[in-house]
Chain A
Amino acid sequence: AQTVTQSQPEMSVQEAETVTLSCTYDTSESDYYLFWYKQPPSRQMILVIRQEAYKQQNATENRFSVNFQKAAKSFSLKISDSQLGDAAMYFCAYRSPETQGGSEKLVFGKGTKLTVNP
């Protein structure tokens, strides 16, 4: 079974600075999807970024980018120019590809609570 580990329960960053959240995963599959979700205090989970394992290029969405190291099974999230609105719980998640039974099941890490200091 796949597992996702987020080793940093809490992180803090100064406004306008850069922060990197870590995520490692364990899988025997060669093709899969990885996601970072953000859950602000209002509790609505929002997709931040998505990475397909077969793509070597790291995904980027505005101030959010990932460092995907497939061999190391590492998937870190970098937030540049941090803003107060970035404060939230961040979850790393894994999903098997459609060829593996077509499941939508996401396996989540325990999350990292990010605090942004003004």
Chain B
Amino acid sequence: KAGVTQTPRYLIKTRGQQVTLSCSPISGHRSVSWYQQTPGQGLQFLFEYFSETQRNKGNFPGRFSGRQFSNSRSEMNVSTLELGDSALYLCASSLILGYEQYFGPGTRLTVT
């Protein structure tokens, strides 16, 4: 069974632009969570989705948004990029709520 996949793996954007990151969960998994990882702040929760509904959102500005599709694939969008948005963005999926989360390899976003 294929693991969690994230595309693209690397991305370079300019300040002010917007970006969309994609996450495909493990087949059959319905829950998807997103995390931002930076050297300074560590791993921080962005949001989670279950059955196309956002269940929880972390303490991030409204520039960060996401959605989940009927096939459980998820996207996150960051608008008006800032230098501080440079980070590794990790996606994790789980079968149903309460089960172990499996992480993808991440998308490395660099904002210049």
A residues touching B (Cβ–Cβ < 8 Å)? 35, 37, 42-47, 50, 91, 97-98, 101-111
Contact A105 B56 (CB under 8 A): yes
Contact A43 B106 (CB under 8 A): yes
Report which of A44, A47, A104, A108 forms a contact with B55, defined as CB distance below 8 A: A104
Question: Which of chain B's residues 54-112 have a Cβ closer than 8 Å to chain A?
Answer: 55-56, 58, 88, 90, 92, 94, 97-98, 100-106
Hey, which chain A residues are within 8 Å of B56, CB to CB?
Answer: 101, 103-105
Interface SS of chain B: strand
In this complex, how many residues of chain B approach chain A with their Cβ under 8 Å: the count is: 25
16 additional contacts, CB 8 Å, given A43-B105, A102-B55, A110-B42?
A44-B103, A45-B103, A46-B103, A103-B48, A103-B56, A104-B31, A104-B92, A104-B97, A105-B33, A105-B58, A106-B33, A106-B45, A106-B101, A108-B35, A108-B43, A111-B43
